[in-house]
Amino acid sequence: MMAEPVQPQPPTAAAHVDDDWPRIPGYRIGKRLGRGGMATVYLATQESLDRPVSIKVMAGDGLADEVARQRFENEARTIARLSHPNIVAIHEVGRTDDGRMFYVMPYLPNGDLTQRDLRGDGERVGAILRALLSALGYAHARGIIHRDVKRENVLFDGDDRPLLADFGIALVRNDDTRLTTLGHAVGSTSYMSPEQARGEVVDGRTDLYAVGVLAYELLVGRLPFAAPDALAMAVMHAQDPIPRLPAELRTWQAFIDQAMAKSRDARFSNAPAMLQALDAIGQRQGSITGQVVQAVRSGGAGRSRMLFAAGAGVGVIALAIWYAHDRGAASGAQAAAGRTATPTTTIASPATTAGIASGQSPTATAAPASAVPPASAASAASDRDAGVAAADASSSTVDASGAASDASTPASKTDAKAKRSKRPPPRRVKKRNFISRWWHNL
């Protein structure tokens, strides 16, 4: 988790002072912040300015170790040459009452990079790496190789700005003093380049290799190589393939591969080139994010258009069904009215009745032409023949109305069948055709 920036607070007075704590005029020691192989760092208050500071004091046995003493002095001189917003500065250099060297630095209250969990946070990791590459590029341009870039040496000030610290084993190219013998490796083996592990002469690309290791560690949450001892670790850095990043971090893989190349000639040539590649990662990530956002927005607009079209379609279908139903109802009413106005039987006239009674051949009188649909000549002749046959067959006086009614019944059924056969097809067929054509066109 990212620590929130805090404002430095003056240290409170210590309840007691260890005998090993230094006594430095003008400074009041508050507490011990950390201890390394050749020095200890204390939190103190600079009494003249009443501000919190960090004081790095050489270990007591360093007085007898000439190499340790020279390295401490080398670190103080190296930092004093550098003035960069991402490199820890030095306020003062001196000696304690017992002769140990010390130098005073700003107090950095937000701890170091080991206290941060940045797994998967490419944006925050990129910001820290940019600060480190800017600091290293500045130092390399002045002939200074850090040789110990790692999480513990990246500190944060009150504004949460990362600063590169601990130039204790830094190599200064134009310095005739050599504190490392060829063939002897110095540094942290987990971050060492293959040539540094072999004790060869190194240049700025060694620091860039360590930045690649640091980038992998911050993104994944663990070092790229793990070994039980320093020798095995050096062999892995020199021979083992570079581990693959998780799929969600694949945009970083090419950057890591080039930064951690086994051959220094295959790595980034300098810090500005590596910084440019880092910026390209940020641009690719921004492009991918923009594409995802655009896709989501486009998908939302597409869904809106789809819903609108679906609603419109439902409305059109409902309107079509209502229209077809209304037309069908009107057509049915008209057909019913037509069937009522058209007689289906032939009624005998009074003249016909009288003819039958007197024994004359009866003549069937058809309904008016306006009320009866046209019929064939065969149907008319059949009707007349049926009436005559009924009259001749009568052996007694019959009811003229009953005889006429009986004689007309067959003709009525025939006419009804003819009318039904000539009716137009049901309207519902047209309704189905109309809806089918509309749906096909939609």
Token pair, residue 389, equals 């046959």
Q: Assess if residue 224 is contained within a domain.
A: no
**Better pLDDT: 148 or 349:** 148
- pLDDT tens-place string over residues 294-305: 443 444 445 555
Q: How many whole angstroms separate alpha carbon 144 and alpha carbon 389?
A: 139
Token pair, residue 113, equals 């990079």
* Residues forming the active site: 148
Rounded to the nearest angstrom, the gap between the alpha carbon of residue 147 and the centroid of all alpha carbons in its chain is 39
Angle of helix 400-421 relative to helix 377-392, nearest 10 degrees, comes to 160
Token pair, residue 165, equals 């610290």
Q: Tell me which DSSP letter residue 27 carries.
A: E
Give me the residue label for tokens 């208050």.
45
pLDDT for the residue numbered 365 = 40
Rounded to the nearest angstrom, the gap between the alpha carbon of residue 329 and the centroid of all alpha carbons in its chain is 57
**Better pLDDT: 405 or 67:** 67
Q: Assess if residue 167 is contained within a domain.
A: no
Flag whether pLDDT at 353 surpasses 90: no
Amino acid at 42: Y
Q: Kindly state the average pLDDT of the residues 314-326.
A: 61
pLDDT for the residue numbered 176 = 52
Domain of residue 352, residue span: 342-421
Q: Could you give the C-alpha distances from 354 to 8, 267, 361, 397, 400, in angstroms and in order?
A: 136, 131, 10, 12, 8
Q: Assess if residue 413 is contained within a domain.
A: yes
pTM given for the model: 0.62
Flag whether pLDDT at 245 surpasses 50: yes
Structural domain count, the chain: 1
Contact 119, 42 (CB under 8 A): no
pLDDT for the residue numbered 308 = 55
CA dihedral 272, 274, 275, 278 (to 10 degrees): 160
The DSSP element (H or E) to which 172 belongs, if any, is strand 171-172
**Better pLDDT: 322 or 272:** 272
**Better pLDDT: 216 or 67:** 216
| Lowest mean pLDDT across 52-61, 175-184, 259-268, 369-378 | 369-378
**Better pLDDT: 367 or 320:** 320
Q: How many whole angstroms separate alpha carbon 186 and alpha carbon 192?
A: 9
Q: Print burial letters for 228-241: b (CB count within 10 Å at least 16), e (below 16).
A: eeeeebbebbeeee
pLDDT for the residue numbered 425 = 60
Q: Assess if residue 348 is contained within a domain.
A: yes
| Lowest mean pLDDT across 31-40, 271-280, 366-375 | 366-375
Q: Assess if residue 85 is contained within a domain.
A: no
Give me the residue label for tokens 């066109």.
441
Looking at the DSSP bridge assignments, the partners of residue 145 are 171
Q: Assess if residue 316 is contained within a domain.
A: no
Q: How many whole angstroms separate alpha carbon 307 and alpha carbon 312?
A: 9
Rounded (5°) CA angle 303-307-312: 150
- pLDDT tens-place string over residues 304-319: 555 555 566 656 666 6
pLDDT for the residue numbered 282 = 80
Q: Which of 71, 87, 68, 67 is nearest to 79 (CA)?
A: 87
Q: Assess if residue 408 is contained within a domain.
A: yes
Q: How many whole angstroms separate alpha carbon 333 and alpha carbon 245?
A: 79
Q: In a 10 Å sphere around its CB, with 0-12 CB exposed, 13-18 middle and 19+ buried, how is residue 44 labelled?
A: buried
Q: Kindly state the average pLDDT of the residues 182-211.
A: 89
Q: Print burial letters for 277-299: b (CB count within 10 Å at least 16), e (below 16).
A: ebeebeeeeeeeeeeeeeeeeee
Q: Assess if residue 355 is contained within a domain.
A: yes
The DSSP element (H or E) to which 312 belongs, if any, is helix 271-341
User: Where residue 164 falls among pLDDT bands split at 50, 70, 90?
Assistant: very high
